[in-house]
Amino acid sequence: MDSFDAVAVSYPMPELGDVFVRETEPGRPERALIISIYGSDQDWAATMYGRTGREAINGTRERKTIASWRPESWVWDDKLSTFKPPGSAWDVKSRCFKRPDEILPELEDIPSPAGNEKKGQWRGRIKREFPILCDHVDAENVLEAAWAAHEARLAAVLASVTSGQLGRELTGG
């Protein structure tokens, strides 16, 4: 992702007294204190007071730059070209920042069953490796899709063996 492909983010609703910061000049942060908030968790607006007077912010999803107001604890992410909560990761599916333990693994990240491992044993091992799969709403769908992908790979190998294709590939014939 290049710098022109920054991620559009929205900030969570702040609390009264939270401090937001922005860089007006490189290396010179400007701070402001949240003095009023109105709206709900998804559709909020707030008024801040800083050295230049009152400023308004809201929870609109937009591209943030170094000159944008942000929660003081947020850090810059060069890869995403935006600020993010410390210790968080970008979740492509939900298009928001989450703690790494809140993000479901991609199918290609889930290992196949080892040896003669049965489906129940495999599910237990995967849930130990990815604790989010123990109680996430979509966990069953992810596990079933990963098992189905494994079975499809096995079926493809079996089909190539029975057709003699694998033997020709191994012998170069």
Give residue-wise pLDDT tens across range 147-156: 898 888 888 8
Same domain, 20 and 85: yes
Give residue-wise pLDDT tens across range 65-83: 778 888 988 888 888 778 8
Same domain, 94 and 131: no
> Quick one: pLDDT at residue 121?
92
> Quick one: pLDDT at residue 100?
67
| Residue that terminates a domain, selected from 99, 128, 156 | 99
Print the domain residue range for 84: 3-99
Average pLDDT, the chain: 81
Give residue-wise pLDDT tens across range 24-50: 877 788 999 999 999 887 788 999 999
| Residue that terminates a domain, selected from 57, 82, 99 | 99
For the chain, how many structural domains are there in total? 2
Same domain, 95 and 117: no
Give residue-wise pLDDT tens across range 124-157: 998 888 887 887 778 888 899 998 988 888 888 8
| Separation in Å, CA 139 to CA 39, 110, 124, 127, 133 | 33, 12, 12, 9, 5
Which runs of consecutive H residues, i.e. helices, occur in 87-164? 119-129, 139-162
CA 48 – CA 55 distance, rounded (Å): 5
* Bigger pLDDT: 97 vs 1: 97
pTM: 0.55
| Residue that terminates a domain, selected from 62, 78, 99 | 99
Residue 170 has pLDDT above 60, yes or no: no
Helix (H) or strand (E) holding 168: helix 165-171
Largest CA distance in the chain: 79
Same domain, 7 and 85: yes
